[in-house]
Amino acid sequence: MKFDFSALTNVKITGADISRLTDDELSVLYVQTRYCQAMTDADIETMRQIVSDDMTFTHMSGLKQTREEYFADIADGRLRYFTIGIEDPVIRVDGGKATVTFTSVLNANAYGARGTYRMKGTHHYELRGGKWLAVNG
C-alpha cells in the first residue's frame, strides 16, 4: 500500500524510519499525519472524517472541549495551526486498535498566544468500516 506523506506539506515527521514500519503502522501514521495537515488547513470536513463523533479534547490549559467545540475554534481562527511536527512517533497496532505516541511540535496561535508548543501525548485509533478513526483513549 502506498502512502504519499510528501503531499502533507505542513506536517513533518522526524525521528522515525518510516521505511521500517509495517503496512498497518504506516496506515495509522498516515491518518495521524492527515489529521495534523487538516488542522493546519482548518479543513473541518477532513477532521470530521478522521475523528469519532464522541471525541473530547483536552488542551494544555486543561480546557476540555467536545469535537464540535474544538472544530469551531479552528474554523473561526481562535486556534490557528501553522505547522505541526511529529517527533519520534511510536505506532502500536493490536488488531482493530492502535496508538501513536509522539511529541507534537505545534507552531500555532492558540487563543491569542502565538508560539511553538511541544507536548508529548498518545493518540488512540480504532478500525471501523475499514478505516482508522481517532477515538478517546
Number of domains observed in the structure of the chain? 1
Q: What is the mean pLDDT of residues 56-63?
A: 88
Minimum mean pLDDT range among 53-62, 80-89, 119-128: 53-62
Average pLDDT in the chain = 95
Residues 113, 134: Cα–Cα separation, whole Å = 27
pLDDT above 60: residue 123: yes
Q: Let me know the angle formed at the C-alpha of 128 by 122 and 130, rounded to the nearest 5 degrees.
A: 110
pLDDT above 60: residue 1: no
What CATH number corresponds to the domain at position 59?
3.10.450.50
**Distance from the Cα of residue 91 to its chain's centroid:** 13
Task: Give residue 80's pLDDT.
Answer: 97
Domain that holds residue 130: 5-135
- Can you list the alpha helix ranges (DSSP code H) found in the chain? 23-41, 44-50, 67-75
What nine digits make up the cell of 34?
Answer: 492527515
Kindly report the number of other CB atoms within 10 A of residue 3's CB atom: 17
Residue 62's pLDDT band (cuts 50, 70, 90): confident
